[in-house]
């Protein structure tokens, strides 16, 4: 049974697209058939992060308006066999997304994919509402700072009330917390909230912690999801998160500061 996962946050710039890209790629690397959809009509980024911006012919809105078939619009990822990208339109505006159109596309994708990852835009307007509506599971991407936590709380409330599952009285959308851009040093200095603080306010099971890293910028520039930067802390962290998502146990890494040699020798 195909699962629809929404990657959302409320707040902008916290790592939704970075996460959608790496999550979709990570699931595909494990052999699942994955489609990742960009719901940010007019400000599309997913194609850049995935490195397929030069291969966009048709987009999400074309499919909704029946100007192209889904098959024509889906772009096969160059790194992963079983990963396909549906880019957003760059020229239209958000009103071009219709509820019936989105439903039709998602139902068609469900026929041939295991996972459908919906990359939500920031905010709580139409694009974000469309992205979360059909979700079976939600990854709430949160930076460990007060405004991001507040916005994540808001979007959690909206998912609980306005998703299709909520409206139909079905089992609620399964919520996962992903803390991104985490810096243990800044937590120690009191500049950032700790993972425990974020969990206390949001009350949602922790899926993973992705450390702040230059690798993310390098990866976007290279047009390859960060999970492909093998050996890097971000790639490892996303790998752990995907493993936990699939039910495996993984210890939480990257939450403590790296200790220097002297610290390790003489305690601290």
Q: How far is the CB of 11 from other proteins (least distance, A)?
A: 12
206 near other proteins (CB under 8 A): no
Q: 109, 118, 156, 207: which one contacts other proteins (CB under 8 A)? A: 156
**Pairing mode, strands 206-211 and 137-142:** unpaired
Stretch of 18-26, 32-40, 156-164, 189-197 contacting other proteins, by CB under 8 A: 156-164
Structural tokens at position 118: 């919906």
161 near other proteins (CB under 8 A): yes
Q: What is the DSSP letter of 38?
A: E
Stretch of 32-40, 72-80, 109-117, 157-165 contacting other proteins, by CB under 8 A: 157-165
Q: How far is the CB of 113 from other proteins (least distance, A)?
A: 31
164 near other proteins (CB under 8 A): no
Q: Are 254 and 233 contacting, i.e. CB atoms less than 8 angstroms apart? A: yes
Q: 48, 56, 160, 215: which one contacts other proteins (CB under 8 A)? A: 160
d(CA 150, CA 198): 10
Q: How far is the CB of 209 from other proteins (least distance, A)?
A: 21
Residues 6+ apart with CB under 8 A from 74: 35, 84, 85, 86
Q: How far is the CB of 151 from other proteins (least distance, A)?
A: 8
d(CA 119, CA 39): 6
Residue 146: CB atoms within 10 Å: 13
Q: How far is the CB of 150 from other proteins (least distance, A)?
A: 6
d(CA 210, CA 199): 15
Q: 69, 72, 203, 259: which one contacts other proteins (CB under 8 A)? A: 203
**DSSP per-residue string spanning 88-108:** PPSSS-GGG--HHHHHHHHHH
Q: 153, 197, 233, 257: which one contacts other proteins (CB under 8 A)? A: 153
Residue 8: CB atoms within 10 Å: 33
Q: How far is the CB of 146 from other proteins (least distance, A)?
A: 9
Q: Catalog residues that contact other proteins under the rule CB under 8 A.
A: 150, 153-154, 156-158, 160-161, 201, 203
């Amino acid at each position: 049974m195909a699962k629809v996962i929404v990657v959302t946050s409320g707040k902008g710039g916290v790592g939704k697209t970075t996460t959608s890209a790496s999550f979709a790629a990570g699931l595909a690397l494990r052999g699942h058939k994955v489609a990742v959809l960009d719901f940010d009509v007019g400000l599309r980024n997913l194609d850049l992060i995935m490195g397929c911006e030069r291969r966009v012919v048709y987009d999400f809105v074309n499919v909704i308006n029946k100007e192209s078939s889904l098959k024509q619009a889906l772009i096969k990822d160059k790194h992963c066999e079983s990963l396909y990208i549906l880019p957003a339109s760059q020229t239209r505006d958000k009103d071009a997304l219709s509820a019936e159109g989105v439903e039709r596309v998602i139902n068609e994708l469900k026929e041939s994919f295991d996972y459908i990852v919906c990359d939500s835009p920031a905010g709580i307007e139409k694009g974000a509402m469309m992205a979360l509506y059909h979700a079976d599971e939600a990854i709430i991407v949160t930076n460990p700072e007060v405004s991001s936590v507040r916005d994540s709380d808001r979007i959690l409330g909206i998912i609980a009330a306005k998703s299709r599952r909520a409206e139909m009285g079905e089992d609620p959308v399964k919520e996962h917390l992903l803390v991104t851009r985490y810096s243990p040093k800044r937590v120690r200095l009191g500049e950032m909230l700790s993972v425990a603080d974020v969990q206390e306010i949001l009350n949602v099971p922790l899926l993973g912690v992705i450390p702040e890293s230059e690798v993310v910028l390098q990866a976007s520039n290279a047009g390859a999801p960060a999970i492909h930067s093998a050996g890097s802390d971000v790639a490892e962290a996303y790998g752990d998160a995907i493993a936990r998502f699939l039910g495996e146990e993984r210890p939480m890494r990257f939450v403590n500061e790296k200790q220097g040699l002297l610290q390790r020798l003489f305690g601290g």
